[in-house]
Amino acid sequence: MVEKIFLLDVDYEVEKDSGVVLLFGKNKDGKKILVKKEFQTYFFVLPFKGREEELYKKIEKLMEKHTTVTNIDFVEKKVGKEKRKLIKISMKDPRRIKDVRDEIKNLEEVENTFEYNIPFYKRFLIDYGIKPCQWIEIEGELVDENKDGFDLVFKATKINQTEEYFEPELKIISLDTEWVEVDEREKLIMISLSTKNWRKVFALTQWEGKQDFVESCSSEEKMIKRFVETIKEEKPDILVTYNGDLFDFLKLKQKAKSLRIKLDLVSKDKDLEFVRRGKESAARIFGIVHIDLYQFIESILSPNLKTEVLSLDEVAKELIGEGKKDLEYQEMSDLWRERKELSRIAEYSMWDAYLTYELSKIILPQIFSISRLVGEIPFDVCRYSYSQLVEAFLIRKAVEDGLVIPNSPKSEEKETRMRELPYRGAIVVEPKKGIHENIAVLDFRSLYPTIIVTHNISPETLNCTHEECKIRNSVPETRYHFCTKEEGFISKNLKTLIERRRFLKERMKLLDKKSVEYKILDNEQYATKIISNAMYGYFAFVGARWYKRECAESTAAFGRHYISKVLEFAHKEGFEIIYGDTDSIFIRKKVENLEEEALRFSELVNESLPGIIELEFRGVYNSGIFVAREKGEVGAKKRYALIDKEGKLEIRGFEVVRRDWCKLAKEVQRKVLEFVLKDKDPEKAIGYVREVIKDLKDRRVRLEDLIIYEQITKPLSKYEQIGPHVKAAMKARERGIIITVGSIIGFVITKGVGSISDRAMPADFVSRDDYDVDYYVNNQVIPAALRVLKALGYTEDDITGKKVEGLGKFFKG
């Protein structure tokens, strides 16, 4: 029998001491399918040169007592740059791999062992060349129907990847729970589910409201049971949560445990379990993919988000344009205790589930795309960091290319790597202070990735023995060079990524941005971009299997080389250099048509650039401002604002874009920038700032505009210096709020005595009368405004009006 399934998840079980891979998916008829496939895992032993046979015989003898070992044979693979003879030890029981290896690894003929810690199900995917979120074809027999929540269960004899990857209709349900504290005990009061056609709230109450999506439950136990029943009936493929790993499922599990009931969402002998995935433990459900959107947003998406906090509310606002229903936790608790406005709580809870579902419509396709690219299951992908994604991608490629996968560094090795001194990075040109009109901006398209490809930068191509390569491909300012005769492993595979991305981008140009096809390509393009851009940093990452600092160092050195050349050339061509950072230059020239001139310049540069390195003309801006550093007169790097022809501001580095400044100060600064760059009227800005200060003094400012957000980056006890955010976090913790590493704390500086830190209070416990006017005037609003206005010669006195009114204006003309 042959069946095609869209592969969603992979796991394994051990049956009679043999590993069996379990594949979960969906077929074209929308049936949920489980496929079982026997599979043997293995690892490699690298004998010292010349002692291969000797070791082989020794191992053969040693393994006689291990019935799990089924095969011992020689294979040839590249270990680093060298082709070597390895001994492959295959076995039935994946759990035994550790102790079998332990018995071998210390034999005197053994140089090293490899690939002993590749998880069983990943080993299977890699060896079969199967990537999740695509269609696979299986051959085998149907062994069960309607078993354990699956419509069809197969035992497969053959499995193949197909090229198709259109997505079938998947059943996705989002989950959200609400809890309140009653008599010092956490009570589960609502479980909300949302999906394409319906929404449901299980509520712990006698329901009298009108909302028909609410179902009353008389106890927490009944709620959980109804939830479990519903999932069993609906048989979703995917359950999405927003922080389900650390919150919803964690709490549900604890609650279920204390009530002595099961969270068997699929079948009765498979309880929800927590598995370790990196630092956290992840909630895993047999037969349903649990995607925790928060995990993915935090590690992968957050650098691209503008929001200060990664709350569901803020993230949803940014990505889908809808925020949460207004209801503070405290208010909800109070309402619940008093049994008032329950429908409001239900509405709120349901809405959370709805937002989570809506978010998943955007984010799941991205996760799927990455999944296809790096070949890992979505469950893992959504919990991975950049380095893990890169590594997953490389592991696949290594096996395809016949390389042994290097081992992960042991903690000792990591310590050594960490102790190495940092290497030189990019060039940042000191900007010319002041306001400039007509600025042309050019930058290198993906500078570091294109350097890696063009110069064949890879761990094994470093410092080859060819004299010729030393001359033809040596790294500026270093003693390194890279081989030009043989393509490097990383450079080669990065090249395919870049080519793929360029191809996708071209195709996208021909499509309607709203079309489904465009979105598919856009997601794939995004996936390739993530991996490409992370490759450089990965070289110097202490936890990397393919760690090679010299490669990162060389990439940066070439970067400096190319940007310097362009700066030099621009200067020679009569351009004035305003600024430049790593891969970009901001230039100016008094000509009729700067656009044309800059474009010509970039074309000229490109003629002389090797390989796929390319300078791109970004555009001409009407004007831009570069300010001085706080200390000293020199221009500040990484802080500027540009305004384009449409009057759109592009702001970098300024307080406006930082979360550790209050909204009020940031808004003031944005307005000041607008007055200066758009209206070209700094006097208006001064007037505006004065008004804001008056509002502050009159306490007419909303408290939320005064909140400063900062992250807690280590355990509170480890801080040597107790800054405002740490003090505020301590105060929050005293009031029962959980503060962990990574928490972002919002605080307000209140009036009173003591240092700023002493007066920093968690925002939730402050009222409008408490804020410290002086602090917000002198340490927030004025510095933010002045940062810009100083560039025009204004001083603090011009804002506060300490000097005679109008004097500042008089002198500034």
Which positions from 782 through 801 interact with DNA, judged by CB under 7 A?
A: 783, 787
**119 closest CA partner among 466, 377, 327, 349:** 377
Identify which of residues 33 and 605 has a Cβ nearer to DNA in the complex.
605
Q: Least separation, in Å, of the C-beta of 573 and DNA?
A: 22
Residues near DNA (CB under 7 A), total: 75
Which positions from 367 through 386 interact with DNA, judged by CB under 7 A?
A: 385-386
Q: Least separation, in Å, of the C-beta of 303 and DNA?
A: 6
**226 closest CA partner among 252, 244, 246, 251:** 252
Identify which of residues 324 and 549 has a Cβ nearer to DNA in the complex.
549
**Phi/psi at 348 (5° precision):** -60, -45
Strand blocks (E) in 515-670: 576-581, 584-588, 615-628, 635-643, 649-652
Which positions from 392 through 411 interact with DNA, judged by CB under 7 A?
A: 411
DSSP characters over 190-213? EEEEE-SS-EEEEEES---SS-TT
Segment interacting with DNA, rule: CB under 7 A, options 24-32, 88-96, 507-515, 718-726: 718-726
Among 65, 210, 279, 513, binds DNA (CB under 7 A): 279
- Residue 490 amino acid letter: I
Q: Least separation, in Å, of the C-beta of 600 and DNA?
A: 23
Please, are residues 284 and 290 in contact by the beta-carbon 8 Å criterion? yes
Q: Least separation, in Å, of the C-beta of 31 and DNA?
A: 37
Please, are residues 693 and 777 in contact by the beta-carbon 8 Å criterion? yes
Beta-sheet strand order (sheet of 214-217): 214-217, 199-204, 185-194, 172-182, 238-241, 289-292
Identify which of residues 23 and 291 has a Cβ nearer to DNA in the complex.
291
Please, are residues 615 and 601 in contact by the beta-carbon 8 Å criterion? no
Among 343, 407, 438, 711, binds DNA (CB under 7 A): 711
**537 closest CA partner among 415, 387, 417:** 387
Q: Least separation, in Å, of the C-beta of 581 and DNA?
A: 4
SS3 sequence of 312-371? HHHHHHHHHCCCCCCCCHHHHHHHHHCCCCHHHHHHHHHHHHHHHHHHHHHHHHHHHHHH
Please, are residues 543 and 408 in contact by the beta-carbon 8 Å criterion? yes
CA angle 151, 153, 158 (to 5 degrees): 135
**Phi/psi at 561 (5° precision):** -60, -50
Contacting residues for 9 by C-beta, under 8 A, at least 6 apart: 23, 24, 25, 132, 287, 289, 377, 378, 379
Segment interacting with DNA, rule: CB under 7 A, options 359-367, 566-574, 578-586, 599-607: 578-586
Among 584, 602, 669, 750, binds DNA (CB under 7 A): 584
Among 248, 292, 347, 710, binds DNA (CB under 7 A): 710
Among 106, 304, 465, 721, binds DNA (CB under 7 A): 721
Residue 245 binds to DNA (criterion: CB under 7 A) = no
Rg (CA), the chain: 30
Tokens coding 563: 């940007």
Identify which of residues 263 and 475 has a Cβ nearer to DNA in the complex.
475
Which positions from 284 through 303 interact with DNA, judged by CB under 7 A?
A: 299, 303
Identify which of residues 276 and 513 has a Cβ nearer to DNA in the complex.
276
**17 closest CA partner among 61, 71, 89, 70:** 70
Residue 720 binds to DNA (criterion: CB under 7 A) = yes
Identify which of residues 38 and 650 has a Cβ nearer to DNA in the complex.
650
Segment interacting with DNA, rule: CB under 7 A, options 75-83, 84-92, 501-509, 637-645: 637-645
Residue 197 binds to DNA (criterion: CB under 7 A) = no
Residue 436 binds to DNA (criterion: CB under 7 A) = no
Which positions from 642 through 671 interact with DNA, judged by CB under 7 A?
A: 651-653, 657-660
3-state secondary structure of 218: coil
Identify which of residues 27 and 779 has a Cβ nearer to DNA in the complex.
779
Residue 428 binds to DNA (criterion: CB under 7 A) = yes
Identify which of residues 407 and 757 has a Cβ nearer to DNA in the complex.
757
Distance between CA 717 and CA 307 in Å, rounded? 28
Q: Least separation, in Å, of the C-beta of 381 and DNA?
A: 14
Segment interacting with DNA, rule: CB under 7 A, options 57-65, 108-116, 276-284, 506-514: 276-284
Identify which of residues 350 and 712 has a Cβ nearer to DNA in the complex.
712
Identify which of residues 151 and 477 has a Cβ nearer to DNA in the complex.
477
How many residues does this entry show for the chain?
Answer: 813
Residue 619 binds to DNA (criterion: CB under 7 A) = no
Which positions from 308 through 367 interact with DNA, judged by CB under 7 A?
A: 308
Q: Least separation, in Å, of the C-beta of 677 and DNA?
A: 16
Among 90, 230, 267, 779, binds DNA (CB under 7 A): 779
Which positions from 483 through 542 interact with DNA, judged by CB under 7 A?
A: 533-538, 540-542
Distance between CA 370 and CA 764 in Å, rounded? 38
Among 526, 709, 771, 794, binds DNA (CB under 7 A): 709
Among 722, 737, 773, 792, binds DNA (CB under 7 A): 722
Residue 715 binds to DNA (criterion: CB under 7 A) = no
Identify which of residues 280 and 313 has a Cβ nearer to DNA in the complex.
280
Distance between CA 724 and CA 758 in Å, rounded? 7
**650 closest CA partner among 742, 743, 584, 568:** 584
Site string for DNA, 441-460 (x = CB under 7 A): --x---x-------------
Beta bridge partners of 750: 771
Among 240, 636, 643, 664, binds DNA (CB under 7 A): 636
